[in-house]
Chain A
Amino acid sequence: MKINSNRITLIYFVILIAVVFLTQKIFTTYSLTNETNLIFTNKEIVIILLSIVLFRYFLYANEKHNKSVLNKLKKSNQDIIESKERYDIVAKATSDTIWDWKIDDDAFIWNKGIQGVFGYKKEDVGKNSNWWFERIHPEDSLKMSVRLYSFLDYKTDKWQDEYRFQCADGSYKYVIDKGFLVKDDKGKIIRMIGAIQDVTKQKEEEQRLRLLETVITKSNDAVMICGIKLNENSLPSIVFVNSAFEDMTGYKTSEAIGMPLDIIFGAKSDSKQIDLLKQKIKEYQICDIETVCYKKDNTLFWINFTMIPVTNKDGEHSHWISVQRDVTELKEKEKEREQLIRELTKNNNDLKQFSYITSHNLRAPLSNLTGLLNLIDDIPIENPDLKELIDGFSTSTHLLNETINDLVKVIIIKDNPAIEKERILIKDIFENVFNQLNFLINLHKPILKIELSEEYISNINKSYLESIFLNLMTNSIKYRSATNQLKITITSKVINEELVISFKDNGIGIDMGRNKDKIFGLYQRFHNHPDSKGLGLYLVKSQVESMGGNISVESKLGKGTTFTLNFKNI
């Protein structure tokens, strides 16, 4: 700059010299005087020098002024750059999207947020307000525009609204938009500037919390929140209760809040349970107790009370949440049930005793009768009437004896599940059974088809198994068909590690449609047979089950009956 001004000064000096020299030349040429030899007079030189100094001074002053202006400009330029940077950083930090709307021209400018937050490409971003309005959720846009234009009319400075704004991918984000107006000197609105904040996450969290809150407020279980400060009774105070708690205890929210937990406990409450609660509270542990509690009107009720410690986000223990349930009804039922079980057990024992005594008292005279009849057998009776009478007497006595013996067996099986058990080869059982039935077999001569495997069964009571087959066999003979010769098939095989014994006859069968559920019942008789006592199959089932097996039956009237026995213990 200095060099430049020096150069200007030098040029100015040369021009000045040239002008002076030319003027002199002209003057000498056209003048009458002849003073040509003197080119520059002293006077001229002084003027020239003075003029140069003056010129140089003006130049300097001008230069100085320019310099200061330039510096100022430079500084303000720097400020603008910094401020722009700051603005970008702040916009980025708050993740706000800033817009600037020149209302008269309808020119709309967005900052980078519209790209970063909402995903629009730079070239897709619109340049007028329509673009903005079109991206507001249809459900929000009417309300929003009404509020915006009324704001513009009233010309208040600040405006704020919440709406959903569409992203580039078509989804919507919840936003809070805050704007203010820029006016000229005359108060006319020229611009509006706004900042859009994405509050989707907060909004979703808010909705989630509201949902969670309804769980507490609408729950059928009473919910109570307590602080952590304990009173002199080592119990915390209530800070919240839901409506279920109000219903359960009769305390209104306003009456409960601030009160210590003690309000629901009283003289009849289980002090051990409350001590446990205090202990757990001390140790910040989950606690589950059950005790009698008091309602506001002092009525008693049973409560199931769970207390859970909760922590704040720093992991510090901040509250207790308690879920409570009125279990009075349950407790009463439980009490009733226990009472009932006690009574039943007692009744059952009494009945068992009763059955032992009765059967003993029945058996005692009956055994006398049998013994006496045995003695009569040895005495020849001449009188045919007397013989007939004694025969009838004998038959009835023996039937009564059998019945009582069967009943006794049933009582013993039912009362003694732990019978003596051994491991037996099933074949051996049948030998004994056939021996006992020798008379009947010889009398009716059934076709016997017996296919027994060489299998052992363990945990079997031999006399039970004999009694079972004796019963089944006698049944087959008793209820044989009148037309066909009786045929009995007995097979055994192992299926799925179970011993399956099948006992099949071609007798008169049982009407399954009518009697399916009754076959193994007590005192169920299906045929009009004089010997039938209605006990045999009941006894069989009891015996099979007491050895851990089970029995089933299939039958067709006039075709025959098949009993299937399963034993797991091979």
Chain B
Amino acid sequence: MLRKVICIDDDPITLKLCKKVMERVEFASEINTLQNGEEAIKQFEDYEKIDTKNAPDMVFIDLNMPVMNGWEFLDEYFKREYHKKFKTHFIVLSSTIDPKDVEKSKLYSMVVDFLSKPITKTMLEELKSKY
């Protein structure tokens, strides 16, 4: 079981679903949710200031979000060199169909997987065994 996981999505139903499925498979002891990339950046700023060890093991992030979308978040994260400071793995969880998005996600070293919605128990069990 992972220690801490954050799900970032603007759709509350998706967030609720994620939480439910994760609870079913006992994916992580702490599951937090955020609405968009900006909120996530602020969260990581806090981790940087207060305690880097408090950062999550894994983040599920949607691409299409208001205020700051998934790509903008990843860029900002990379720019601030957070990928060097935190050991967090990122999973893109999206309903995109554009094949270019999958290719693009491979350019970010902290992104370890690209999954298509909806999240399922099988997916989570696989991830659990890997990380």
What residues of chain A lie closer than 8 Å to B21, measured between beta carbons? 371, 374-375
Stretch at the interface among A147-155, A358-366, A495-503: A358-366
A362 and chain B: residue at smallest CB distance: B95
**Docked-complex contact B17 and A363, CB < 8 angstroms:** no
Contact of A368 with B by CB under 8 A: yes
| Among A375, A378, A411, contact of B17 (Cβ-Cβ < 8 Å) | A375
Complex contact B24–A367 (CB within 8 A): no
In the complex the two chains form, what is the Cα distance from A370 to B119 in whole Å? 9
Q: How far is the CB of A402 from chain B (nearest CB, A)?
A: 14
Q: Check if A412 sits within 8 Å of B17, measured CB to CB.
A: no
Within the complex, what minimum Cβ distance (angstroms) separates A431 from chain B? 22
Q: Is the CB of B64 within 8 A of A360?
A: yes
In contact, B118 and A368 (Cβ under 8 angstroms): yes
In the complex, how many angstroms separate the beta carbon of B120 from the nearest chain A beta carbon?
6
In the bound complex, do residue A364 and residue B117 qualify as a contact, i.e. CB atoms below 8 Å apart? yes
**Interface residue range, chain A:** 10 to 19
Check: B105 CB closer than 8 A to any chain A CB.
no
Which residues of A from 339 to 377 have beta carbons under 8 Å from B? Answer: 356, 359-360, 363-368, 370-372, 374-375
Give the total of B residues in contact with A, Cβ under 8 Å. 19
Q: Is the CB of A378 within 8 A of B13?
A: no
B126: interface (CB < 8 Å): no
Smallest CB–CB gap between B57 and chain A, Å?
A: 22
Q: A360-B95, A370-B118, A371-B120 are in contact. Are A378 and B14 (CB under 8 A)?
A: no
Chain A, interface SS category: helix
Query: Is the beta-carbon distance between A367 and B121 smaller than 8 angstroms?
Result: no
Q: With A375-B24, A378-B24 in contact, do A367 and B95 touch (Cβ < 8 Å)?
A: yes
B24: chain A residues at CB < 8 Å are 375, 378
Whether the Cβ atoms of A412 and B97 lie closer than 8 Å is yes
In the bound assembly, the distance between CA atoms of A360 and B101 in angstroms comes to 12
Give B63's nearest chain A residue, CB to CB.
Answer: A360
Any A CB within 8 A of the CB of B11 = yes
The reply to whether B121 and A374 contact each other, CB–CB distance below 8 Å, is yes
Q: Report A-chain residues with C-beta under 8 Å of the C-beta of B11.
A: 364-365, 368
Contact A371 B119 (CB under 8 A): yes
Is the CB of B96 closer than 8 A to any CB of chain A? yes
Q: Is the CB of A411 within 8 A of B118?
A: no
**With A and B bound together, what is the CA distance between A93 and B120 in angstroms?**
113
Residues A411 and B97 in contact, CB atoms below 8 Å apart: yes
With A368-B11, A371-B17 already in contact, the answer to whether A363 and B117 are too (CB < 8 A) is yes
Residues of B within 8 A of A378 (CB): 24
The closest CB in chain B to the CB of A357 belongs to: B64
Q: 24 A-B Cβ contacts within 8 A?
A: A356-B97, A356-B98, A360-B64, A360-B96, A363-B95, A363-B97, A364-B11, A364-B95, A365-B11, A367-B117, A367-B118, A368-B13, A368-B14, A370-B118, A371-B17, A371-B119, A372-B13, A372-B17, A374-B121, A375-B17, A375-B20, A375-B21, A375-B24, A412-B99
Further 20 A-B residue pairs, CB within 8 A, beyond A366-B95, A375-B20: A359-B97, A360-B95, A360-B96, A364-B117, A365-B11, A367-B14, A367-B116, A368-B118, A371-B14, A371-B117, A371-B120, A372-B13, A372-B17, A374-B21, A374-B120, A374-B121, A375-B24, A408-B97, A412-B97, A416-B99
